[in-house]
Structure 1
Amino acid sequence: MNTPQTAIIPDHCKAGIFIEADILSGQTEAVKTACRTVLSALQTLQTQYPDESLGLSVAFGSDFWHTLGHSNEGKEIKPFRALGNGLAPATQHDLMIHIQAMRQDLAFALAKSVLNAFGGSISVQSETHGMRLLENRGTDGFVDGTENPQGDENVRNVAIIGENCPDAGGSYVLLQKYRHDLNKWNSHAISEQESDIGRSKVENEEFEGDALLADSHLGRVNLKENGVGLKIVRRSLPYGTISGENGLMFIAYCHTLHNIEAQLLSMFGETDGQTDRLLAHLSTAVSGAYYYVPSVERLQNL
């Protein structure tokens, strides 16, 4: 049995760190060594703090992954492309590091060890720290992640490539940073905000029938094919400050890139020209990248 990387399955973590980097020329062997080193550092901290859900995902963009020659693994991975005439920019990089834990200090400690391990083999392009807010709400005041599969087995079925595949234990991941304009958002009545989301704000109850607008957020992302829901596993967290920029670090894992991409195409008007209402009233996408997350065993032996 191949083991999924440890930032995918645990839910409800309170702290997250999201790092994207480019791998420097001639540093492939150094990156392989660093991957083994970071797994050891993770294990050490997990042993010291066994109840804090400390997890790590190390993932690769398509260009670097394909240089490794694992042609029968991660077959769906490709570069992120800009969507919606630029509404979703493409900021693809070679390496993604996702850390989550119940404690910010523990996530920070692991991130420091991880970046020390990679050292001069990479050039960090972005680093964002996320935090769980009260009642699992985003800075927009709505509960985030309500549609997530619940329970480890259900999460595994959605997020992890199955055992009958050569890349068993792997996963595909989307990372996007959304900046929120809360002044604009808060100028709308709560009823308008609820229509944009497709869910009540206080009670967190999903709208149905005519109350659920086709261009609401839920109307754009709750998709089905042949009667089956296109599920993904979100591990997103709010980021930012009260006085300055804030928003959502959106991260989603899935056993197939298709489910993730289908939701994006719908949100950004690529399917029917209709875009998600949140893009007009709240959120601006400022980054976007796809990565392949190999199993722990593959990461250990790239």
Structure 2
Amino acid sequence: MATPQSGIIPDHTKSGIFIEADFQTKDLDTIKQACIQSLKALHDLQQQYPEAVLGLTIAFGDQAWKAFNHPEEGKELKPFRPLGNGLAPATQHDLLIHIQSMRQDVSFALALDVIEIFGDRITVADETHGFRWVEERGLDGFIDGTENPQGEEKITQVGIIDQDQVDAGGSYVLIQKYLHDLKKWNNVPVQNQEASVGRSKKENIEFAKEVRLPSSHLGRVNIKEDGKGLKIVRRSLPFGTASGEHGLLFCAYCARLYNIEAQLLNMFGETDGKVDLLLTHLSQAISGAYYFAPSLERLQNL
């Protein structure tokens, strides 16, 4: 039975570290060994701090994954492309290291270990540290991840490739960094904020489809095909500093890249020209990349 990597299933964690990097070596054996050593570092810290619920995902961009020559696995993977006439830029990299836990200090300890293990085999393009904010709200004041599947069984059904597939235990990943203009957002009346999201701000009550604006966030991402919702597993967290840049590090896992891409195409106006109102009033996407996270067994035997 294939096992998903440990950074995917745990929910409601308090800290996350997202590192995107590019390979600086063509010697894939050294990359393989770094993955194995990183899993050993993870295991050691999990044993030392079991209450931290420490998890690690190592995932690969399209070109990097193809280099390992497992063509039947991760077949949906593709490079991220710009969307919405530049509203969603593409910043595809080779490697994603996603760490999450209940403790920021333990997350950071693992990040130090993993970066030392990979060493000069990679060049880090971006490192973002996320945190769980009050009441699990985003910096926009709305509760984040309400649509997430709840419970390990449902998370697995949505986020992990089925056991009857050749790449069982794997998952597709989206990473996007959004900067928030909170001064602009806070000048938007709460009623208009709620209309932009499609949900009440304080009570977190979803508006009925009949009254929801087509360009609201929920109007863009709550997609159904053949009566079934195209669900994803969000592992997003707020990030940033109070005096500088801040926003949302959007991280999504899914058994199908199709579900993730369908939501993005709707958000950025690629399907019908309607753009998510949050992009008008609050957020600017500054990065975008797709990755494939193989099962734990495959990661140990790339």
TM-based fold match above 0.5: yes
SS at match of 2:279: helix
Q: How does 1:138-287 map to 2 (within 5 A)?
A: 138-287=138-287
2:262 paired with 1:301: no
Scaled by the length of structure 1, the TM-score of the pair is 0.99
**% of aligned pairs identical?**
63
CA deviation vs aligned residue, 1:57-87 (integer Å, no higher than 9, x gap): 0000000110111011000000000000000
Cα distance, 1:261 vs structure 2: 0.2
SS at match of 1:51: helix
Write the distance in 2 (CA, Å) between the matches of 1:202 and 1:291.
35
- State the partner residue of 2:18: 18
Kindly report the root-mean-square deviation, in angstroms, between the aligned alpha carbons of the 2 structures. Answer: 0.6
- State the partner residue of 1:64: 64
SS at match of 2:191: helix
Q: Which amino acid aligns with 1:121?
A: R
Write the distance in 2 (CA, Å) between the matches of 1:75 and 1:288.
19
- State the partner residue of 1:82: 82
Write the distance in 2 (CA, Å) between the matches of 1:264 and 1:141.
22
Q: Which amino acid aligns with 2:163?
A: E
Write the distance in 1 (CA, Å) between the matches of 2:163 and 2:296.
14
SS at match of 2:119: helix
- State the partner residue of 2:51: 51
Number of equivalences? 302
Write the distance in 1 (CA, Å) between the matches of 2:19 and 2:27.
18
Write the distance in 2 (CA, Å) between the matches of 1:11 and 1:53.
10
SS at match of 1:211: coil
Scaled by the length of structure 2, the TM-score of the pair is 0.99
Write the distance in 2 (CA, Å) between the matches of 1:89 and 1:25.
26
Q: Note the residue ranges of structure 2 that are not aligned, 5 or more in a row.
A: none
- State the partner residue of 1:137: 137
CA deviation vs aligned residue, 1:240-263 (integer Å, no higher than 9, x gap): 111111000000000010000000
Q: Note the residue ranges of structure 1 that are not aligned, 5 or more in a row.
A: none
CA deviation vs aligned residue, 1:95-142 (integer Å, no higher than 9, x gap): 000000000000000000000110010000000000000100111111
Write the distance in 1 (CA, Å) between the matches of 2:209 and 2:165.
39
- State the partner residue of 1:73: 73
SS at match of 1:74: coil
Cα distance, 1:41 vs structure 2: 0.4
CA contact (8 A) 2:25 2:122 kept: no
